[in-house]
Structure 1
Amino acid sequence: MVSALHADPSNADQAGAWDGQEGAYWAEHADRFDRAVRAYRADFLAAAGVAEADRVLDIGCGTGETTRDLAKRATGGRVLGVDLSAAMLRVARQRAAAEGLHNAEFVQADAQVHPFPASAFDVAVSRSGTMFFADPVAAFRNIGGVLLPGGRLVQLVWQALAGNEWFLSLTGALAVGRPSPTPAAGSPGPFSLADPARVRTVLGAAGFTDIRLDPHGEAMWFGEDAADAERFTLGMLGWMLDGLDERDRRRAVDDLRATLAAHESDSGVLYASEVWIIRATRP
């Protein structure tokens, strides 16, 4: 099942990025992005607590690793993955089909405004896909409407910058003395749900109760070695070199190489990270 993307106008920039070059890069490197956060996989799936007959909505499903994991648990139910990126959804469909997961379905949609059927799901989940809504209260209210009374929302989001060495180190190296590209507090971006007080305010205004944030910290993987991680990182963050002269470009890449080399280990290039696993209930 494929739907034409109808994004809220306030999410136009995010739709343009995820349904454009950014999403295409993630689709091309799906295994690497999944491996980067794999240390959180077991805890997140345990928090989701999906049962055999559950109907599950996966928000910002990307290339579908979480969708597939949950479809293997909800063998008597179904899992719907939604994302802004057509490229990532193509990968998600291919991989679900290859694994014979007929209870996994994918739709290109903006979860902030998509007309989901009311009370159609037992659980809604998102592995790092809910931090990009322009109007998070409206988005979570829309998501809450798809849940049955007593239905659960489970999200994995980044904690504050201070605990996420990967972001500080990689963007700091490429910034070359300029401010790192950190969105303003409360604006769409990877750290928009880092503040527990804001999370409780947003989810409470959207109608959720029993809001709980559990902290988790793990090492993130960026490559087999520094050279491998450099190629991956520049593919993801190379836009930060735009506008630099040749001297500053060399300095930025040298700084990136230095931090990647400093984080090499027997398990690859690893950086510290911290997330919240957030649980909430629709009354």
Structure 2
Amino acid sequence: MIDYDLELRHHNDALRIAYAIRASDRVVDVGCGTGQTTRDAARLATAGTVLGIDRSQEMIERARALTSQAGVGNIEYVCANAEEHELPRERFDLAISRFGTMFFSRPMTAFVNIRNTLRPDGRLVMMVWQSRDRNEWATSIERALASDESKAESASTVPPAFSLGEADVVKRLLDSAGFLSPTFEDVRAPVFYGLDVDAAFEFVSEFSTVRDRIAGLDSRQRAHAVDRLRDLLVRHQRADGVWFDSRAWIVTAHRD
């Protein structure tokens, strides 16, 4: 399982500050993964509660195990999709998400559902990737794996990970879903892929985009792509590991 918590260590620091969680808050964590953000929220909401939801049963089971080990008691986890799961109406003071809202196939349905589960004047605080061309980790890996570099650069489709990358798109979506005055905090922080090139190569090889691209190459192309990927990782090796630049938004909005 990819350790996103390790990859996103600097993003977590920025996001915890943006939460501004009060001790009595009730919080829902959308796309909670293995629960690091859920546990962070629960440690702040000491007199409140936190619900973590994720559509991956594997992630939820891991989150429950890690939460039990950490001895954090004010958390509940549910395996669910925010597009389909009927969240309790007007239950939560705050909805949070760390890179968990970009993959909705019906984003309007999901955000209306999230809005409806918030109390009046409740807040949404989510972190999403900015556009692909502002994220070195995405563009450089894509170019390294492309059998035809011009094809990689001219790709017109927006991968799901970057579906909320444009601020105007997000603003229109949230406005339509019933949120007020979304704000955007620019977060530029590096992502960590491993202590050395071998560890980083193993890490990025688990990305679905990398697996899919390599699977579509013939044996000669695959060998060249792997060599180019390793060369890229070598160029990003620092004394404390392999790092790539990234850009994200912290989006904050209130329920109307």
User: Aligned to 2:157, which of 166, 184, 187?
Assistant: 184
String of CA shifts for 1:205-263, please: whole Å, max 9, x gaps.
00000210111101111111111111111122223211322110110000000100000
Find the counterpart in structure 2 of residue 271 from structure 1.
Answer: 244
Look up the match of 1:242: 215
2-structure distance, mates of 1:258, 1:180: 18
Which of 56, 64, 67 pairs up with 2:27?
56
Within the candidate set 76, 95, 111, 2:47 is matched to 76
Give the whole-Å Cα distance in 1 for the aligned partners of 2:187 and 2:206: 28
Structure 1 residue 170: deviation in Å?
1.3
Do structure 1's residue 43 and structure 2's residue 5 form an aligned pair?
A: no
Where 2:67 maps in the other structure, the secondary structure is helix
The equivalent position to 2:144 in structure 1, one of 156, 173, 177, is 173
Q: Give the corresponding residue for 1:148.
A: 119
Could you tell me which of 209, 217, 229 is aligned with 1:256?
229
CA distance in 1, matches of 2:109, 2:45: 28
CA distance in 1, matches of 2:107, 2:220: 41
Partners of 2:216 and 2:98 in 1: CA distance: 33
Aligned 8 A contact 1:208 1:280 in 2: yes
Q: In the TM superposition, what whole-angstrom CA distance separates every residue of 1:132-166 from its partner, at most 9, and x where no partner exists?
A: 11121111011000000000000000011222000
1:251 alignment partner AA: H
**1:193 to 2:156 alignment:** no
Once the 2 structures are TM-superposed, how far is the Cα of residue 180 of structure 1 from its aligned partner? 4.2
| TM-score under structure 2 length normalisation | 0.95
Confirm or deny: 8 A CA contact 1:183 1:189 kept in the other structure: no
SS in 1 for 2:47: coil
Q: Aligned to 1:62, what secondary structure does the other structure show?
A: coil
Query: Equivalences for 1:62-101 in 2 at 5 Å?
Result: 62-101=33-72
Q: TM-score, normalised by structure 1?
A: 0.86
- Cα distance per residue 1:40-95 (max 9 Å; x no partner): 11211111111111000000000110001111111111110000100011110000
AA of the residue aligned to 1:56: V
Paired residue for 1:228, among 182, 199, 222? 199
Q: Which runs of 5+ in 1 are unaligned?
A: 1-27
